Amino acid sequence: MIRMTEAEVQQGFRALADRARREPVAITAKDGHEELVVLSVEEYARLKRRDRRVGLTEDLPEEWIEAVRDAKVSDEFAALDAELK
């Protein structure tokens, strides 16, 4: 994510808009903390769609549920699996 200060935003809205079309731009306050994000309307729409995709586990196909039940944690992640137990 690109970061810009409030002063940079005030100096060049066109540059801000051009950058935000490519990727989200974080606007920082004088103290350096991020306060706002400017993003393209396409990215905003994508995020809104993503928020609405919700499903219930009871609606999953039985073969998917069985696959999860039968899944084994690889040795590489055994320590992480142990933390959950």
| CATH at residue 67 | 3.40.1620.10
Burial annotation 53-74 (CB, 10 A radius, 16+ → b, else e): eeeeeeeeeeeeeeeeeeeeee
Report helix, strand or coil for 1: coil
Number of domains in the chain: 1
User: Under 8 Å CB-to-CB from 35, ≥6 apart: which residues?
Assistant: 27, 28, 29
Model's pTM, two decimal places?
0.48
* Mean pLDDT value across the chain: 86
**Residue 32: per-residue pLDDT:** 87
42: amino acid identity, one letter: E
Q: What is the pLDDT of residues 11-26, one digit of tens each?
A: 888 888 899 999 999 9
Domain region containing 26: 2-84
Residues in the chain: 85
The better pLDDT of the pair 54, 60 is held by 60
